[in-house]
Amino acid sequence: MTNNKRKFTAIHSICVDSVCFNNPSSMKGVIVNCYEKLYRDDHRGKVKEAWKATDNLGKQKAPGPDAFNIAFFRHC
């Protein structure tokens, strides 16, 4: 049962910019490069944008079912 499930949940290939990689070593490299680029990018502009978006909202209003209000998100 476990081997059968693993067969369906395994990644057999990854395609990036129309180039496909199908051996484990090259797929690992593609994934690592993706996350390195993601964390290397400058996110300061996005943080300022999120701060500005929440600035005009009611501080005690909860935007979702988790009951965390805007004041909580601004504090964190």
- Domain match, 31 and 53 both: no
Domain count, the chain: 2
- Domain match, 3 and 28 both: yes
- Domain match, 36 and 49 both: no
pLDDT in tens, 1-18: 556 666 677 888 999 889
pLDDT in tens, 36-76: 887 776 666 677 777 787 777 766 766 667 778 777 877 77
- Domain match, 26 and 61 both: no
CA distance readout (Å), 24 to 15, 37, 62: 13, 20, 44
Residue 18 and residue 11 in contact, taking contact as beta carbons nearer than 8 Å: no
- Domain match, 32 and 2 both: yes
Range of the domain at 64: 44-76
Please, which pLDDT band fits residue 29 given cuts at 50, 70 and 90? Answer: very high
- Domain match, 35 and 62 both: no
* Global pTM value: 0.44
**Residues in Cβ contact with 44 at an 8 Å cutoff, skipping those fewer than 6 apart:** none
- Domain match, 27 and 12 both: yes
